[in-house]
Amino acid sequence: MLNIRAYAKLNLTLDILGVAGGFHMLDSLVCSVDLYDLIRLKKRRDNRVNLEMHGLNTELMPIESNNAYRAAEAFVNRFGTGGADIAVYKNIPLAAGMGGSSADAAGVLRGLAQLYGTGSESQLKELADTLGSDTGYMLTGGFARLKGRGEMVEFLDIKERLNLLALIPGSGVSTAECYALYDKAPSPTTATDNAVEGLKRGDLRALGKALDNALYKPAIRLNEDVKRAYGELKEFDPLGVTMTGSGSAVVALFENAEFCAYAKSRYRGKFKVIELKTLTPKI
């Protein structure tokens, strides 16, 4: 039995530079945070994959379209290994832009590579990129700048641990609908350069000022709770507020852990609130 922690990610910025080959070209500063799904894997004697989901009402969701299942099937087919019994215990909110599906897929690939002792980093990255645009990044996690569809990863050597507070609306945002709505009225942002430079200098105020997401405007048209969550976090006067991914989670950056904890203790809204710290996962 092998246990894998699949950590959530946040987009601190998300710029859309255009469209190429039918895909949106992104430039995004991302980070891993200390919220994770737990994945348990066990070898099988045959080559079958058995997946069980637990938590967040995922038990009855179709297995065949689950990214963790697709990752396991792809791994077995690629490397000709035996199968696995896999259980995923969900903590990362669904449809919130925190990368739970990609994290699970990457976690399964890492776990199977450890169980069977096969699969180089480059081979796993190649396989991960077929499962989702940010799945390759999720194999390692940490601070990074993602470009292209998200498959071009520039890791950043950042020791700073950021203090963040997330509000999670009860309903999500469809990624496909959000991008489609963006395409009808593009509103490009250019936040990532300034955010990365601020982060590298350890200038949290500059980083907070740069937080932005090109998908925020279409997201609030699809889910008004995103705008409400954004406004509620702004009331605590953080260094910056942004939406992650295509929503619906909204996150605020605070100067230190004390201010972040205070904001959480004083929050009286209707949304789920989670206190987060960035980290570089130990792979």
* Catalytic positions: 9, 134
Give CA–CA dist 63/244, Å, rounded: 26
Is there a contact between 13 and 212 (Cβ–Cβ < 8 Å)?
Answer: yes
